[in-house]
Amino acid sequence: MLELCRDTYRYRELIWALALKELKIRYKRSVLGFLWALLNPMLLMLVLTLVFTTIMPMISKPHYAIFVLSALIPWTFFAQSLSYGAESIVGNADLIKKVRVAKLVFPMAALVSNMINLLLSLIPLVLILLAVGHPFHWTWIFLPVALFALTLITLGGNFFFAAANVYYRDISHILQIVIQLWFYVSPIIYSKDLIPPQYQIFFKLNPMYYVLNEFRLSIYDGQLPQWTNIFACYVCGLASLVIGFYVFRRYQDEFVFYA
């Protein structure tokens, strides 16, 4: 882990430059450009709100748009980071073969670029809060704690899938299916209270269950999570980072031969 901290600081400018490059490529030749970072979560939220307030109102909650966005924004960051992170080594194979650089900068740049998107996505959230009259709770100050736990989980996943995708290119395709399934078994469009008691234990095996709950409690409910939930978040985050970085470091010297 000391190696991770040291190389992150050493290559911080390169990570930032790669993150900005990725964003520019992502929105290249797009009329709206970076505005899509604002529009994507808002448009998805509108679709979900329409479905679950008119077609399936039994799942709906007061100010359902805020309810959905409070979990959808961190989820979008997580899902997109994993998708881009899985392709980060393979997508930069030419650069890796020509320049000697710490391989960890590529999955980290994928995370940083999506972190920028996440921060931009808070703008439509604030606008909708004002529009519907939902209160700004003081518990927003807890969001950095929740965001750091989410970052640990996501970065660990980026390292793991980036390494795995070098050897098995099916990983990136399988990951998309897993992310779609993961979306529905995470409390994003529904409250965790709707999960039947007999199935609660299975949902609690999902690390995103705890992280998304922290965001929703802070933004929507105006409550601080219990210390057990915070503890579970950081246990999941540290476990993800340690396992992911171990696998990545174990095989990174071979990437140049397989990427």
The encoded tokens of residue 232 equal 């579970």
Residue 231's alpha-carbon distances to 158, 160, 235, in angstroms, are 22, 23, 6
Tokens linked to 71 = 């979990």
Report the pLDDT value the prediction gives residue 27, as an integer from 0 to 100. Answer: 64
Select from 170, 206, 166 the least CA-distant residue to 187: 206
What contacts 62, CB < 8 A, 6 or more positions away? none
The pLDDT of residue 7: 79
Q: For 110, list phi and psi in degrees, rounded to 5.
A: -60, -40
| Beta strand ranges found along 31-78 (DSSP E) | none
Question: For position 33, what pLDDT does the model report?
Answer: 57
Position 217 scores a pLDDT of 93
Question: What pLDDT does residue 66 have?
Answer: 85
Give me the pLDDT at residue 237, please.
Answer: 94
Residue 175 near residue 86, CB atoms below 8 Å = yes
| DSSP letter (8 states) at residue 219 | I
- pLDDT value for 246: 94
- Checking 15-21 for CB contacts under 8 A at 24+ apart, the result is 15/105, 15/108, 15/109, 15/112, 16/109, 16/112, 18/105, 18/106, 18/109, 18/113, 19/109, 19/110, 19/112, 19/113, 19/116, 20/113, 21/109
pLDDT score of 240: 95
Q: Give the residue ranges of the chain where pLDDT is below 70.
A: 26-60, 259
The dihedral of CA 165, 212, 12, 124: what is its sign? positive
Q: Other C-beta atoms within 10 Å of 259: how many? A: 18
**What distances in angstroms separate CA 11 from CA 15, 18, 94, 103, one per listed residue?**
6, 11, 19, 10
